[in-house]
Amino acid sequence: MIRVPQRPGADRRLRDMRIRHLARLALVLAVAAAGLSLMRPSWACGCGALVTSTRSGVNVADETSIVRYDGGQEEIVMRLSVRSQARDAAWLMPTPARARVTLGDSAWFDQLDRLTEPAVVRHRRWLPRLGGDTMVGAAAPRRGDGVGVLARQRLGPFEVTTLSAGDSRALASWLTAHGYRLPGRLAEALKPYVARHWTYTAIKLAPRQGRLTGALDPLRVTFASDAPIYPIRLSRLATSPQSVHLYVLAPHRVSVSGLEGGMLTTYAGRVTPSMVASPGLRAMVGDGAFLTEVVRHGIPPSAFTDDLRLGYTADTPYREVVNVDGGLVTFLGVPAYLWFVVGLLVIVIAGAAAAVVSARRAARGRRASAGAAPPAADGNRAESPPAADGNRAESPPARPRR
């Protein structure tokens, strides 16, 4: 066998190639793992828990609720817009008393959005901007240690089941047996509600065909309550930042507690039925109510330390003010500063022309004065006075020219 001599450094280059290949493989695996971590399901929405019957998660793209409280009864109208590959999902919402669920109306949210939109203040400018621009039912029955089905109904694409439970693990087991895929931490998260003897509304979102994606019909949940509350504790189970946007109709302006960092009030003011168009929303407003809009985006799940408590505060009106660039001040369609520039140029040109004309007139006057001046005293010969004898003195004869 003929042995072919290797070039110097061939082994080292081969090792380098293997190391680069392993590095590329590790990078591909890391990217794949990151993608899988981003695809983890989000088990919670702003009010309750949102779960699926498969491994596909549900991402809540938008969530807004109308909360109405009249002193003894509370209504929550929730509108969700979701993105998911799953064909169905379930929304689990705890309430302090047995809840009655009906369908809401998306138009209610549009009307409240227009009613609370910020006041726009347009600032007109005299000069162009230099640089870039710098300009939120009845009480629940007695419970044992098992799970009781209080009611079932079908509302459009929703299958609504109202439950009572004396043990959080029994509740989780019952939901799992009925097709809801739950995270392992949910049973632990439900314990505070079980201890307070709350009831639960399990709403199965099952479109008749296709995937569960897009805007869902709003659901209206009504229950008895001693104080206005927004059940949100289960949002601690979320795997991504959450958003909360509430329109609260109550006798007075409300402030929110139970969330680390608080929420931003973007509107506060009294509303009357004449200010809205939908009959259903007019019924919620009643004879009049104080509307408080609160919002916060990008909330870390760890900030949900309790359910949101809505306490009354001073009825101070508030409306956001948005300052926008109103453009340049114009006159006859032309920016005012251009009129100013043109006027200034006219004044400068007129002044310069007047100065030139004045200078020329002054020069002509000087030349005229110089031409009309008397002859010098030594330039003319003085005439001899007449002789005393009456004879004129004769001048000497001139010399003949050669």
- The residue ranking higher by pLDDT, 340 or 288, is 288
- Decide if pLDDT at 213 tops 70: no
- Report how far residue 64's alpha carbon sits from residue 244's, in angstroms, rounded to the nearest whole number: 7
Cβ contact 106:251 at 8 Å: no
- Is it the case that residue 385 has pLDDT exceeding 50? yes
Tell me the pLDDT tens digit for each residue of 115-159. 999 887 776 676 676 654 444 333 333 444 566 676 777 777 677
Average pLDDT over residues 220-242: 89
Q: Does residue 351 sit within a domain? A: no
Cβ–Cβ < 8 Å for 393, 387: yes
Among 230-239, 245-254, 350-359, 393-402, which range has the highest average pLDDT? 245-254
How confident is the model over 364-384, as a mean pLDDT?
Answer: 63
Which SS3 state, helix, strand or coil, does residue 290 take? strand
The model carries a pTM of 0.66
Mean pLDDT, residues 313-333 taken together: 80
C-beta separation of 245 from 265 below 8 A = no
Residue 87: which domain range?
40-128+137-330
pLDDT at 138: 36
Band (pLDDT 50/70/90 cuts) for residue 181 is: low
Q: Is residue 326 assigned to a domain? A: yes
Q: Which residue has the higher pLDDT, 168 or 340?
A: 340
In a domain, 246, yes or no: yes
Contacts of 207 (CB under 8 A, 6+ apart): 87, 88, 157
286: in domain? yes
- For the cut 90, the answer to whether the pLDDT of residue 329 exceeds it is no
Q: Who has greater pLDDT, 106 or 83?
A: 106
**214 Rama class: left (phi>0) / alpha (psi -120 to 50) / beta:** left
| Whether the predicted pLDDT of 1 surpasses 50 | no
Overall size of the chain counted in residues: 402
Say if residues 136 and 340 touch (Cβ distance below 8 Å): no
Pairing of strands 321-328, 119-125: parallel
Half-sphere exposure of 11 (CA within 13 A, CB side): 3
Instruction: Share the mean pLDDT of the chain.
Output: 74
The span from the CA of 301 to the CA of 42, in Å, is 11
Q: Tell me how far apart the alpha carbons of residues 63 and 92 are, in angstroms, rounded to a whole number.
A: 15
What pLDDT score does 154 carry?
Answer: 75
Segment of 53-67, 138-152, 350-364, 382-396 carrying the highest mean pLDDT: 350-364
Q: How would residue 206 be classed by pLDDT, with cut points 50, 70 and 90?
A: low
Which of the pair, 224 or 333, is modelled with greater confidence? 224
Q: How far is CA 317 from CA 75, 248, 374, 379, in A?
A: 23, 14, 93, 102
Residue 80: both structure tokens together:
């969700």
Band (318; pLDDT cuts 50, 70, 90): very high
Q: Is residue 11 part of a domain?
A: no
**Number of independent structural domains in the chain:** 1
Residue 91: which of 80, 100, 83 has the closest Cα?
80
Q: What is the mean pLDDT of residues 51-76?
A: 79
Residue 4, in any domain of the structure: no
Look up residue 44 and give its DSSP letter. B
Task: Give the confidence band of 397 by pLDDT, cuts at 50, 70, 90.
Answer: low
Extract the tokens encoding 339: 């009129």
Residue 9: pLDDT over 60? no
Give the pLDDT confidence score for residue 139 in this predicted structure: 38
Output the pLDDT for position 182.
63
| Neighbour count for residue 12 (Cβ, 10 Å) | 9
Least confident residue range of 76-85, 282-291, 300-309? 76-85
Closest-CA residue to 283 (of 222, 242, 239)? 222
In tens, the pLDDT along 142-152 reads 444 566 676 77
Of 226 and 239, more confident: 226
Q: Which residue has the higher pLDDT, 340 or 310?
A: 310
Question: Does residue 342 lie in a domain region?
Answer: no
Phi first, then psi: give them for residue 42, nearest 5 degrees: -95, 115
Residue 347 counted as domain residue? no
Neighbour tally for 389: CB within 10 Å: 5
What residues does 339 pair with on adjacent strands? none
Identify the pLDDT of residue 22: 43
